[in-house]
């Protein structure tokens, strides 16, 4: 093709896919069954070591197979790029950001695509599962009011936030710095 649609980036911890297009959505399918939708201008971590990236340009579908030659997880902490984050859409409170980032902990570290359970997140932050659930229900309600779809399930909500850069490695590093020793390594 004559245009660049996406770009893989290694940050020293995990591979990221950045959608550099302006109108094309990228669909990432991991060999482990994970599926991530990446709208134009967004990026996401690729916790799966192999898979495919699919997109449609005009009437033609394309599929690129990838395999990570570097280990998916590294012990070196990445440098946090940029000086500021601009947030679009619903603003997440600190508590919401902490819980949602904790759900995605294994994905962000590249160790698994599985999300932590409500019980695990509640135990890590020393709150009840109901507190975690109520917090997520408020986020889902605000997103529904804004017309965001597919956030009814925890998987859909976390995928949306990761794909749109609302939570990510920089969020995880900020939480680890503010709450040392709380999150497991």
Q: What is the pLDDT of residues 137-169, one digit of tens each?
A: 999 998 888 888 888 899 889 888 877 778 888
The DSSP-derived string for the chain is --S--EEEEE-SSSEEEEE--SSPPEEEEETTS-EEEE-TT-EEE--SSEEEEEEEETTEEEEEEEE-SS-S--SSPPPPP-S-----SSPPPHHHHHHHHHHTHHHHHTS-SPPPPHHHHHHHHT--HHHHHHHHHHHHHHHHHTT--S-SSHHHHHHHHHHTTSSSHHHHHHHHHHSTTTS--
pLDDT tens for 42-99 read 888 876 778 888 887 777 778 888 887 654 443 334 444 444 444 445 688 999 999 9
């Amino acid at each position: 093709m004559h245009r660049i649609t996406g770009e893989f980036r290694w940050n020293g911890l995990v591979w990221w896919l950045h959608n550099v297009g302006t109108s094309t959505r990228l669909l990432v399918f991991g060999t482990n069954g994970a599926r991530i939708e990446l709208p134009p201008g967004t990026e996401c971590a690729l916790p799966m070591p192999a898979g495919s990236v699919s997109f449609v340009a005009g009437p033609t579908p394309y599929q690129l197979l990838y395999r990570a030659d570097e280990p998916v997880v590294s012990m070196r902490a990445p440098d946090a790029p940029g000086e500021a984050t601009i947030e679009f859409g619903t603003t997440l409170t600190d508590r919401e950001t902490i819980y949602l980032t904790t759900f995605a902990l294994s994905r962000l570290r590249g160790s698994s695509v599985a999300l932590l359970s409500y019980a695990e997140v509640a135990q890590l932050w020393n709150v009840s599962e109901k507190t975690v659930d109520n917090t997520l229900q408020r986020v889902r309600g605000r997103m529904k009011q804004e017309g965001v779809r597919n956030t009814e399930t925890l998987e859909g909500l976390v995928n949306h936030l990761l794909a749109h850069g609302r939570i990510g490695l920089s969020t995880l590093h900020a939480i680890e710095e503010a709450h040392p020793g709380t999150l497991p390594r």
